[in-house]
A and B are shown apart, each in its own frame.
Chain A
């Protein structure tokens, strides 16, 4: 046979709970208990509120820039809940706050970061989260390397890295996928395909029909999931985690979701996208279907919602208080953490707060007068 097929594959799309809050009996069986679903719904309400508060803080000049997470909470919480707190590691971008909070990251640190304070990245020991990554796509290689280290040391840990659809155009995505699959490291590549990379829509970002299929090029297990379906996200992440633990290598998960807000507070998405599109996706808000499910089960009502809303409000004021209550960093802060041991020149700059040396540098002291008298 002169021509034969040497490769064939296809992408599966997974949905467990539809937009009406109805769970597929087979896929949803024994996946999450109603207590767990309720817990995650309540977290979603809290974190949505926190997201809105951050936006308001920025608008009133109390935060410099903030990228809203609104609409993508199921992707963050579903995946985060599938990973083992204190064991697995999260290597995030900046639109999965919920996952980080689930893993113990104090929310005020995220606020501090966006208020322009490096102390927001000083992640407490025991919280297995790396700081949010601003340049697009670079963190996927760090995740790969970390997973590689755990494999080398035979530690039972999985690393999950988050990124957007736009990041899959970066070279580092491809280099990370290639390393991770070639060395079969326990790493999950979790893409939040929110359809927009600032103003560039997904169709203009890539010609491939799905993000997930890019994983096939590297020999990764590749799957697409309804990113607004908490249960489906949980399910595929759990499977990816177990696969990684079993030594079967990386999975790329494409969570199909939507950025309901602007890219950041410095952006105005009305300049480049239709309000109908946003409105249509707003109907698929992950919170709506979860609430419908809980109501259908008789587990939720307006009174309960009010209790959670009130609690979220209190939680948010606490976070605002914590992040705004901290004194501005000392100017020494700029110098103190660059190296384990401060180089001499840096110490001089720190001590004098000058880069010019005359009159500041003790080695120059007295030189001029003695030189003048010698003349």
Chain B
């Protein structure tokens, strides 16, 4: 089985689905000739032609709005927004249109599109290239929000996303794009939407994370005392959430630490804390802890590693919650 990076696995998923389903079209800024600024779509235009891998004008609302039209008329568009920081102009189309057509037409018109978004910090990118806005799209009803962080999961979940009848945002953690390789099958397989993964089993405390932060958590786990048994959950999908996996784990451990890149206030971590409060209150041995980005704007590259949660910050929170 070939070893692939996250970038290669996503590319392989796009290739797999474009070969299988001629309704699939990729479109976005620089995705064709240049293969995308992260080379995620490398080679696809050569293979499938400029009518299926389309270099669009520099126009995020245009990309999103025309993708909605493509989907309404029966294609399976995969628009790329080049960086999460540029989702702003596409927000109206995503939230007010992609997310609502099924509901407002009582199912007569649907929008099966998958928008791919390179996402998050840690790669010394310029400003507006390192944000974590995922909670905004969870808050708005009608979308599904995926954020796998391993090559295997990314390929399988992207194939699920493209085949999903509803609009999906597929966040790709840039920091993980080329950070490691793992075995990824060449052929067709899917990983379900809405299922979290227990990365490490444990009994003393549950750590919940997603995206690039999963690897910071793993690093934190390495430095903890050996007799501390930590369960690490990679959510993989943040909407719809896998309540069972989260609640079973916290019911078992009685302690939870949530780790995310995004600012703390009104975030996924806030939502998860509330869920644990509602569903696991009587099992909790300590207050739920959130290890997050600060409630500041994402700093420029020089300070980004101090902004983003890292292994020491995560380890400290785990120790505190266990000692409570």
Pairs of residues from A and B, 10 with the lowest C-beta to C-beta distance, nearest first:
A145-B69, A141-B65, A175-B62, A343-B240, A149-B73, A145-B66, A122-B106, A340-B165, A142-B69, A146-B73
Q: Distance (Å) between the CB of B141 and the closest chain A CB?
A: 6
Chain B 53-66 near chain A by CB (<8 Å), digits 1 or 0? 01011010110111
Contacts of B243 in A (CB 8 A): 344-345
**A145-B65, A152-B75, A182-B57 are known contacts. Are A337 and B70 too (CB-CB below 8 A)?**
no
| Contact count band on B | 35 or more
Starting from the known contacts A149-B72, A152-B51, 4 additional A-B residue pairs (CB-CB under 8 Å) come to: A122-B105, A145-B65, A179-B59, A364-B278
Secondary structure type dominating chain A contacts: helix
Residue of B nearest to A368 (CB): B282
Check if B69 sits within 8 Å of A143, measured CB to CB.
Answer: yes
Does B102 have its Cβ within 8 Å of any Cβ on chain A? yes
Check if B107 sits within 8 Å of A337, measured CB to CB.
Answer: yes
Contacts of B67 in A (CB 8 A): 145
Contacts of B241 in A (CB 8 A): 343-345
Q: Distance (Å) between the CB of A349 and the closest chain B CB?
A: 11
Check if B62 sits within 8 Å of A178, measured CB to CB.
Answer: yes
C-alpha spacing A89/B74, complex, angstroms = 14
Q: Which residue of B89, B106, B108, B110 is within 8 Å of A171 (Cβ)?
A: B89
Question: Among the listed stretches A123-131, A224-232, A240-248, which one makes contact with chain B, having 4 or more residues with CB under 8 Å of it?
Answer: A123-131
Check if B240 sits within 8 Å of A344, measured CB to CB.
Answer: yes
Does A79 have its Cβ within 8 Å of any Cβ on chain B? no
Check if B282 sits within 8 Å of A138, measured CB to CB.
Answer: no
Q: Which residue of A138, A340, A364 is within 8 Å of B110 (Cβ)?
A: A340
Residues of A within 8 A of B (CB): 89, 118-119, 121-125, 130-131, 135, 138, 140-150, 152-153, 171-172, 175-176, 178-179, 182-183, 337-340, 343-346, 356-358, 361, 363-364, 367-368, 371
**A142-B97, A368-B282 are known contacts. Are A118 and B103 too (CB-CB below 8 A)?**
yes
Contacts of A146 in B (CB 8 A): 69-70, 72-73
Residue of B nearest to A145 (CB): B69
Q: Distance (Å) between the CB of B109 and the closest chain A CB?
A: 7
Check if B102 sits within 8 Å of A338, measured CB to CB.
Answer: yes
Check if A138 sits within 8 Å of B279, measured CB to CB.
Answer: no
C-alpha spacing A17/B122, complex, angstroms = 66
Q: Which residue of A89, A175, A338, A358 is within 8 Å of B61 (Cβ)?
A: A175
Q: Which residue of B61, B164, B165 is within 8 Å of A172 (Cβ)?
A: B61
Q: Which residue of A131, A135, A148, A343 is within 8 Å of B70 (Cβ)?
A: A148
Contacts of A176 in B (CB 8 A): 62, 65-66
Residue of A nearest to B54 (CB): A183
Q: Distance (Å) between the CB of A344 and the closest chain B CB?
A: 6
Q: Distance (Å) between the CB of A247 and the closest chain B CB?
A: 14
C-alpha spacing A358/B52, complex, angstroms = 50
Does B71 have its Cβ within 8 Å of any Cβ on chain A? yes
Residue of A nearest to B75 (CB): A149
Contacts of A344 in B (CB 8 A): 240-241, 243
Contacts of A143 in B (CB 8 A): 69
Residue of A nearest to B107 (CB): A337
